[in-house]
Chains A and B, each alone.
Chain A
Amino acid sequence: MAVEQPMRAAAAPPGDQTRIHNIGYRSYDGPRLGRAYARRSLYSQSLRGSYGLGRSVKSKVLPMLLFVVMCVPAAIMVAVAVATKANELPLDYTRYAIVMQAVISLYVASQAPQSVSRDLRFKTVPLYFSRPIETADYVRAKYAALASALFVLTAAPLLVLYVGALLAKLDFADQTKGFAQGLVSVALLSLLFAGIGLVIASVTPRRGFGIAAVIAVMTISYGAVSTLQAIADAQNSTGAIPWIGLFSPVTLIDGVQSAFLGATSAFPGGIGPSNGEGVVYVLVVLGLIAASYGLLMRRYRKVGM
C-alpha cells in the first residue's frame, strides 16, 4: 500500500539490453473486499439513491416530497386523536397504505426507473459485472434496495400513528397488535411493488417512459379492478368481487390483509375474500414476487453483451 515506488528497475539483470526503461508496474496485493462487500455497497448506494441522498438537490425533491406527503396525514390524524381524546385512531394501520396507494405508486414509478434504467442507458451495467458481483448479486441488491426504500416510505407513517396512539393513551396491546399487522402488510406491499416496478423499468433505458409504464400498470389495473368491483357490487353478484380483486397489486394486498391480518376490506360493500380465497391471494402475491425476481434474473443474464 506504500505510495512511493521501491526502485525495482535497478535490479534488472545486466545482460538484458532490449529493455529501455521499467516504469515499475506492480500488481495489487492489498486486501480484497470481495463479492459480499460489493453487493452491500451496491445495496446501500441504491437505497440512498432512492431518496436522493448522495445525488443532486433536484433529485432529492420528489422522493422527499412524497415521503412528507405520506407522513403528514398520519401526523394530522394523531393530532386529532390526541386533541379529541378519541378511543381509537380514525384509520386502521392496515388501511393507511391502501388509502395512500396513489402516492406509493408514484414513488415506485419515479424511483424504480431511477434505480435501473439509467444503468442501462449509460451502459454502466457491464462495468458492474466486470467487478466480482454476478447477475444474482446485482438483482438482489437492487430489489432489496427498492423494497427497503418502499418499506421506509410505508412504515414511517405507521410508526407516527403508533407513537401518537401511545401518546394519546390508547390501549397498548390493541395498538401493538394493529401496528404489527400493518408492518407485515406493508412489508408484503413493498416486496410486491418493488418487484413489479423493477421488472417494467429494467426493460427500458428511457427513464420517462419507464415512469409512465409503471404508473400505467399500477393505476390502470387498480382503476379497472375497482370499477369492475363496483359494477359487480351494483349487480349484486358479490361472489365475483374477491376474484376480480386478484388482478391489481393494491387490491391483492388489500385482500391478503383483510383475510389474514384483521383488516376491514376496502372492496365495495366491504366484502373481503374468505379464508379459502385469502390463500389464493397469498399464493398469487408470493408467486408475483417470485416471478418478478425470476424475470429480473433472466433480464440481466445477457445485458449489455
Chain B
Amino acid sequence: MYDPTVARLTYRALLGRRRALILGALPLLLIAISLVVRALAGADDQTAADLLGGLALATMVPIIGVIAGTGAIGPEIDDGSVVYLLSKPVKRPTIIFTKLIVAVAVTMVFSALPTLIAGFILNGNGQQIAVAYTVAALVSSIAYAALFLLLGTVSRHAVVFGLVYALVWEALFGSLVPGARTLSVQQWSLAVAHKVSGGDLVTSDVGLTTATVFLVAVTVLATWYAGQKLRALTLAGEE
C-alpha cells in the first residue's frame, strides 16, 4: 500500500521551490508571535489557550492542510503529468494512500510541531495545554489531509473549495450556527484534545465518541473515494 518512489516524488512536489517557503513561513510566524506574547504578557494559561486555539488550530492547521492536501495531487492533475504516474503498474488506491501519508506527514511537521513549540514557549505546557493542542493538530492533520486530497482529485478548484470549508464553514458558520460545529474537523479534534488535557481550558461542542467516529469515517471514506476517483480519472482540458 506504500510506494517509496511515489512518496519521494510527492515530497519533492510539496517541498520544492516556493511552496516550502509559505509552508515554513506560517510556523515561524506562530513561534515569533508566541515569543512576543510571552515577552509582553508573561506565562498565562488562558492566553496560551486563546493563541493556540484561535491562531494555530483554527487558521494555521487548515491552511497548511489545504496546501499539503491539494498540493499532493492537484498540480499533477492540473498540468496533465499525472498520466505518466497512472500509466505505471502501481495500483491507484496505493498512489492515493502514499500521497495521503506524505500529505499527513507534511501537515503534521509544519503544524503540530510548531504548535508544540509555541505551547512550550507560551506557558511551558502548563495544564497540558501544549500537548492537548498538539494532539488536536495531529488528529486534525490526518482528517484535513484526507479531505483535501479528495477535493484535489474531484475538482480543479480544490484549493478554493478547501478554503471555503475551512474558513467559511468552520469559522463563520461555526460561530453563527451552533449546529455547524457538529460537522467540523476542528471541533472533533478539540474533543480528542479535551480528553487528553482533562482541563476546562480546552473544550469542544462534540462528544468524544461522536468525534472519533466522525474522524475515522471521514478519513477512511475520503481516502477510499479519492482512490475510486483516481481509478476513473478523466483529464479535462483547461477551462
Contact = CB atoms under 8 A, between A and B. Distances in A.
A55 B157 CA distance: 15
Most A-side CB within 10 Å, residue of B22, B51, B160, B172: B160
B235 interface: no
A103 B158 CA distance: 17
A213 B22 contact: yes
A230 interface: yes
Given A59-B239, A106-B168, A220 B60 contact: yes
B139 interface: no
Interface stretch (B62-70, B201-209, B225-233): B62-70
A91 to B, nearest CB: 13
Contacts of A227: 33, 50-51, 54-55
Interface in A64-112: 69, 102-103, 105-106, 109-110
B37 interface: yes
Contact of A220 (B19, B50, B63): B63
Given A102-B167, A106-B160, A106-B167, A212 B51 contact: no
Nearest to B59: A223
Interface in A216-232: 216, 219-220, 223-224, 226-228, 230-231
A62 interface: yes
A109 B50 contact: no
B41 A235 contact: yes
A31 to B, nearest CB: 34
A212 B22 contact: yes
Nearest to B47: A231
A121 to B, nearest CB: 9
Nearest to A200: B22
B63 A216 contact: yes
A234 B167 contact: no
A110 B26 CA distance: 20
Interface string B195-223: 00000000000000000000000000000
Interface string B15-51: 0001100100010010001001100110000110011
Contacts of A234: 46-47, 50
Contact of B167 (A58, A207, A213, A219): A219
B209 to A, nearest CB: 30
Contact of A212 (B40, B159, B172): B159
A76 to B, nearest CB: 12
B33 A228 contact: yes
Contacts of B75: 206, 208-209
A204 interface: yes
B83 interface: no
B111 to A, nearest CB: 12
Contact of A204 (B18, B37, B67, B171): B18
A56 interface: yes
B158 A231 contact: no
Most A-side CB within 10 Å, residue of B22, B54, B163: B163
B164 interface: yes
B37 A231 contact: yes
Contacts of B54: 223, 226-227, 230
A234 B50 CA distance: 11
Contacts of B58: 223
Interface in B164-178: 164, 167-168, 171-172
A208 B152 CA distance: 10
A211 interface: yes
Contacts of B29: 220, 224
Contact of B239 (A56, A206, A209, A223): A56
A203 B239 CA distance: 22
Given A102-B172, A220-B29, A224-B33, A62 B160 contact: yes
A199 B129 CA distance: 38
B115 to A, nearest CB: 14
A215 interface: yes
Most B-side CB within 10 Å, residue of A105, A204, A207, A237: A207
B214 to A, nearest CB: 24
B168 A228 contact: no
A208 B78 contact: yes
Q: Which 3 A-B pairs have the closest CB atoms?
A: A223-B59, A208-B159, A211-B159
Interface of A: 55-56, 58-59, 62, 69, 102-103, 105-106, 109-110, 203-204, 206-209, 211-213, 215-216, 219-220, 223-224, 226-228, 230-231, 234-235, 237
10 contacts: A59-B239, A105-B167, A106-B163, A208-B75, A211-B163, A213-B22, A224-B29, A224-B55, A230-B50, A234-B47
